């Protein structure tokens, strides 16, 4: 395809800036339009997650654009979940039995800034800030923008337009409102929203609690999590219902009530947050939802990517990783040498949509796992067994979490099907007493247990195949 063509990308967030960089590397003429000011010059973090968990699928995309070494210094490894109970007791539950498998806490702003810096190094990539897309005419491949500094509207013409403008995508809205083709769209809100809080560093600038973990205070109906930042602070996120339960966002309206809630459920976290009340009332409460839609493209003119095509709830730590993987997968399709954009877009959506649907569903599952199941005895027994399998037979077993997070060459859909089958097999056999946990198991017994789990898993997968699920 002709590289002299002009590609307009709307939204210079994580996906858009990576895509601009990759298409720039491939030699295309790219214009990237972002509605906000340049985040490298102005602090615009308020109301968005300040740090994120970057894992292997995201790192694979960084390798594709040659940025792995530049991203590493921005990362803080998190080896497992640090579970905090009501009394403040903690236990570290590793993410994997293989030591080299961990996730990384990374600053959204620093990562986005790095991608913009690298994209801008290419003469064929031009980035404009303060340009808000209002709508897209997908038949004429033009987009209407407002310059947010002058308030003046203008129209931008392109050969193709790719919208990476996030969960509230303006182009997706144009697809929906245009009613020019059969466009399916669903948006499912969670009953829970989120609010960001903070553990500041101590007087020496050090971390106030253990650094290399994702801290979780799971309380069944709600939870608090904390991820470390490079400056010694933690970003703390409260996930809570808007209007259900004794304590919810709608009724936490006074300082006394917020303190009562935290001292009852998150006592040890409260001790690290003298700033709690100010943060609680200054920081916004935001909703969480899942967006699915199809098709993602209109003929060979326009395409949705990243959250604009498939926003998910954040509980698997995979939204950004999936959006980065979009770019890796799109790049693979470009390598196939299709004759025109319509064929490229079709091939991309065909191979990708089943996987983004799968991670959307897995992310909802993990919401329940993180806030409640992690504290249940049968769940912990399953994890103990899985850790032992991964440690003792590293080439033979990967848990669902490992398949999703550390096996970037296994598709999300395959990870979901196999992971769910394994979970079912282990939990059923544990409750029937067919297998037991590792504490007293010899290596031979553990081997025997793994063989049983494998056989039961294959039987479940076979049932799924017969039922047409695979």
> Which residues are near ligand FAD by CB under 6 A?
10-16, 33-36, 49, 52-53, 132-133, 164-166, 170, 194, 237, 306-308, 314, 317-321, 323
Helix (H) or strand (E) holding 258: helix 255-265
Q: Residue 131 or 418: which CB sits closer to ligand FAD? A: 131
Q: How far is CA 213 from CA 121, 407, 449, in A?
A: 35, 20, 29
Radius of gyration over every alpha carbon of the chain, rounded to an integer in angstroms: 23
- What is the greatest pairwise CA distance in the chain? 73
Residue closer to ligand FAD, measured from CB, 15 or 460: 15
Q: CB 292 → ligand FAD: shortest distance, Å?
A: 14
Question: Shortest CA distance to 122 belongs to which of 163, 66, 69, 63?
Answer: 66
* Smallest distance, ligand FAD to C-beta of residue 5, A: 21
Give dist(CA 19, CA 104) in Å, integer: 22
Q: What angle do CA 77, 83, 87 make, to 5 degrees?
A: 140
Task: Return the number of the residue (185 or 254) whose C-beta is nearest ligand FAD.
Answer: 185
Kindly state the smallest distance separating residue 424's Cβ from ligand FAD, in Å.
26
- Least separation in angstroms between CB 150 and ligand FAD: 16
Considering beta carbons, is residue 34 or 381 the nearer one to ligand FAD?
34
Residue 312 or 387: the one with the smaller Cβ distance to ligand FAD is 312
Smaller CB separation from ligand FAD, 119 or 133: 133
Q: How far is the CB of 173 from ligand FAD (least distance, A)?
A: 9
- Which residues make Cβ contacts (< 8 Å) with residue 50, sequence separation at least 6? 107, 108, 109, 196, 229, 235
Please say whether the beta carbons of 81 and 214 come within 8 A.
Answer: yes
Min dist. Cβ of residue 13 to ligand FAD (A)? 2
Sign of the CA dihedral 239, 243, 247, 253? positive
What would the two tokens of residue 142 be?
């033009």
């Amino acid at each position: 395809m002709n590289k002299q063509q002009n590609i307009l990308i709307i939204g210079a967030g994580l996906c858009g800036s990576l895509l601009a960089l990759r298409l720039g590397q491939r030699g295309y003429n790219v214009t990237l339009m972002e509605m906000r000011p340049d985040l490298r010059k102005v602090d615009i973090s308020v109301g968005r997650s300040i740090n994120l968990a970057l894992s292997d699928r995201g790192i694979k995309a960084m390798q594709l654009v040659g940025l792995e070494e530049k991203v590493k210094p921005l990362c803080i490894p998190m080896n497992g979940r640090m579970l905090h109970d009501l009394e403040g007791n903690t236990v570290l539950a590793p993410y994997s039995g293989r030591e080299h498998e961990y996730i990384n806490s990374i600053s959204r702003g620093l990562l986005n800034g790095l991608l913009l810096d690298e994209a801008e190094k290419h003469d064929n990539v031009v980035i404009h800030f303060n340009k808000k897309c209002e709508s897209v005419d997908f038949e004429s491949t033009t987009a209407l923008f407002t310059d947010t500094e002058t308030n003046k509207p203008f129209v931008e013409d392109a050969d193709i337009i790719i919208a990476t403008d996030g969960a509230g995508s303006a182009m997706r809205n144009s697809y929906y409102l245009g009613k020019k083709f059969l466009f399916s769209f669903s948006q499912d809100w969670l009953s829970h929203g989120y609010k960001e809080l903070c553990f500041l560093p101590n007087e020496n600038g050090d971390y106030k609690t253990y650094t290399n973990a994702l801290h979780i205070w799971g309380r069944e109906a709600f939870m608090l999590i904390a991820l470390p930042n490079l400056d010694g602070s933690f970003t703390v996120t409260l996930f809570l219902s808007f209007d259900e339960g004794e304590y919810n966002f709608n009724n936490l309206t006074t300082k006394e009530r917020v303190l009562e809630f935290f001292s009852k459920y998150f006592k040890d976290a409260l001790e690290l947050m003298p700033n709690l009340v100010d943060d609680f009332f200054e920081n916004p409460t935001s909703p969480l939802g899942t967006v699915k839609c199809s098709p993602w493209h209109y003929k060979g003119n326009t395409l949705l990517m990243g959250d604009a095509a498939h926003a998910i709830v954040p509980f698997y730590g995979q939204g950004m990783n999936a959006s980065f993987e979009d770019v890796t997968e799109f790049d693979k399709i470009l390598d196939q040498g299709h004759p025109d954009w319509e064929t490229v877009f079709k091939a991309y959506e065909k191979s990708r949509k089943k996987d983004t649907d799968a991670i959307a569903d897995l992310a909802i599952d993990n919401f329940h796992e993180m806030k409640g199941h992690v504290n249940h005895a049968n769940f912990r027994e399953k994890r103990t067994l899985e850790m032992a399998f991964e440690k003792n037979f590293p080439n033979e077993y990967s848990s669902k979490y490992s398949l999703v997070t550390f096996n970037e060459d296994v598709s999300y859909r395959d990870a979901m099907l196999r992971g769910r089958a394994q979970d079912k097999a282990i939990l059923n056999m544990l409750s029937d007493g067919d297998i037991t946990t590792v504490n007293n198991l010899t290596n031979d017994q553990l081997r025997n247990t793994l063989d049983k789990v494998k056989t039961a898993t294959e039987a479940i997968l076979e049932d799924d195949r017969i039922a047409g699920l695979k």
